[in-house]
Amino acid sequence: MDSFLIGLIGSGIGPSLSPPLHEREAAHHGLHYVYRLLDTDRVGGDVGELIRTARRFGYDGLNVTHPCKQDVIPHLDELSPDARMLGAVNTVVFDGDRAIGHNTDWTGFAESFARGLPDAPARRIVQLGAGGAGAAVAHALLTMGADRITVIDSDPARARTLTGELTARFGAGRARPAPAAELPRLMERADGLVHATPTGMARHPGMPLPAALLHPGLWVADIVYRPLETELLRHARAAGCRTLDGGGMVVFQAVHAFRLFTGREPDDERMLAHLTDLITV
């Protein structure tokens, strides 16, 4: 029986469903698959040391989540083209003595969006968050044909950096940064809102913007999946918005990561069913 030892690096990851999501799929493939949480709040926040320790202890790979998706890059030996382009890593594969970083977030979000919000208008999108997940989500939306994304972040410099990279990649006028003060005006004309910050997670409850800014002509996509129904999505549905929760993104990024870790072909429909089952437990 083939064996795999996988870990997840991030802060406050106790509620993560990645371990059972991966392990249940592995069981269908007859694999001995152990998935451990490496919470930086408990074992220390030195991402480089965690990478070196995981390699030393025989891990086959790691997933990486908030707030480490960009911090991990200097500690890797190689980046896939997607990870290099996005400047963010959510999957690390150990290949011999090399640690190779990948990004399966953007494809995960793209698949989730295509399934959950088919034919959603995408002329003007407001995105909250310009970190590693935000970079992946914005890239996915522009790749899928969004006309323009306006990015707001608590760190304005980070929003400027991300939108500069997106403009260089997709062309002038496709992405721009904006200060938080512009949010009410932007939301009036927006087709969609994408939320890509930790707000709403079990460890970071609350709303990323005033509920009064939501309106029926808007679709709202949240990347948070624990809880699956965030306060943002509850208010959005009450306002008459079409909504997309973070469950699809977490499943489809896991599908791609599982393939990278094991070389086996996972069943995405089965993994979606795994998530539904785990959420209702």
How confident is the model over 256-277, as pLDDT tens digits? 999 999 999 999 999 999 999 9
pLDDT per position as a tens digit, 25-58: 999 999 999 999 999 999 887 999 999 999 999 9
204: DSSP letter: B
What per-residue confidence (pLDDT) applies to 102? 98
Q: What is the mean pLDDT of the chain?
A: 96
156 assigned to active site = no
The pLDDT of 219-245, averaged and rounded, is 96
% of the chain residues with pLDDT over 90? 92
Catalytic-labelled residue, pool 24, 66, 69, 195: 69
Q: Tell which wins on pLDDT, 12 or 151.
A: 151
Region 152-178 average pLDDT: 97
- Give the CA dihedral 14, 16, 22, 25, nearest 10 degrees: 120
d(CA 258, CA 241): 33
Question: Is the pLDDT reported for residue 171 higher than 90?
Answer: yes
- Cα separation, 59 vs 6, whole angstroms: 6
**Overall average pLDDT of the 203-213 stretch:** 94
Classified as helix, coil or strand, 34 is strand
Map residue 215 onto helix, strand or coil. Answer: coil
pLDDT tens-digit readout, 74-120: 999 999 999 999 999 999 999 998 999 999 999 999 999 999 999 99
